[in-house]
Amino acid sequence: MTNQNVVAVSDSKVAVSGFITAAQKPPAVPGTYITISKKKLLQNLDINSTARINSWVDSMRASSPTHINSPPPLSDDWTMNHPSALDMFERITNASKGKQIVMFMDYDGTLSPIVDDPDRAFMPEPMRATVRKLARYFPTAIVTGRCRDKVYSFVRLAELYYAGSHGMDIKGPSKGFKHNKGGESVLFQPASEYLPMIDEVYKTLLEVTRDTPGAKVENNKFCVSVHFRCVDEKKWSELAKQVGLVLEGYPDLRLTEGRKVLEIRPTIKWDKGKALEFLLESLGYANCADVFPIYIGDDRSDEDAFKVLREKGQGFGILVSKTPKDTSASYSLQEPSEVMAFLRRLVDWKRLSFRRQFRSKGRLEESKYLLTI
């Protein structure tokens, strides 16, 4: 990855990076939107599609357990391999000594509790105050599958980096903030040519899911999310069929699953792990040994970032979960309240470190003065 992928823009100007190569460009998008009846879509389902849909439903159940089929609580074996980041706080800070900590965090389920209505996933005020303090001491980014503008409306902190749509829409803080080294805002949108296609799929999904009680389709700009948190589990298979059949007409899009959400996004090789690497480069820490990234997230999509950190051997991933999961994260926290407690300890630890540095500097200056008299 090179610096030419970074586009610097002023607050009043929007620019798009030319990251996508010719081989990655999507085909021409149809200029008209065609309404397809749900009945006709379901009639066109073939055997191969059925197998794929069944696989999706199994994944939906695995990633989104209901109260009827809940997974077991955290076991001793799992917590031994993924101990609490609060319990291991001193080990984490000791490993970071002499290095610049850079914070990356998911939003839903990490900084804000999971709620039934995704439009009401507001950030609690105590968490906002904590993240504001965190950003004073460390470069801080929110990396989410949500639309960047929507997450910003929830968080309302201009000093952060925001990576929306699973990192396909990245914007840095405005000029004048402490960790904005370049003096201008960073904007990166590697999937901009897919926007018309994403918008068309969004409209189609709105149409075919309108009769499924509880289903909510969300346009996250560079991806579409179909939330099924409020859908009866008996209807999950039908919902998956509706989504799958729409997706069949768009080979340049793919489907992934999260916590009670199906997500449709471009097939380009870009994810939260790539976004983490891009942001580190934008901050001037590409291939640096003196950087210590910490990534906190609760979703399956966060695993891409956890894997990057594990492969690099830099920093740590922290999974937010009350149940055991296969993960590349090194540590765990159980819920957003524990995330806030961990962030507050980081702020207090850094503040204390600064005080010690100032005291040592003061004693050194005093010693120099005594030598001159």
Is 106 one of the catalytic residues? yes
CA distances from 56 to 76, 261, 262, 321 (A): 30, 11, 9, 22
Distance CA 154, CA 141 (A): 14
Write the Ramachandran bin of 19: left for phi over 0, alpha for psi from -120 to 50, otherwise beta.
alpha
Beta-sheet pairing, 7-9 with 224-227: unpaired
The active-site residue out of 46, 87, 106, 348 is 106
Distance CA 360, CA 40 (A): 75
Residue with tokens 């990490």: 110
* List of residues 6+ apart from 3 with CB closer than 8 A: 281
Using N-to-C axis directions, what is the helix angle for 236-247 and 195-208, rounded to 10°?
A: 140
What letter does residue 163 receive in the DSSP assignment?
Answer: E
Say whether 1 sits in a helix, a strand or coil: coil
Residue with tokens 């391999």: 81
The burial of 365, by beta-carbon neighbours within 10 Å (0-12 exposed, 13-18 middle, 19 or more buried), is given as: exposed
- What is the set of active-site residues? 106
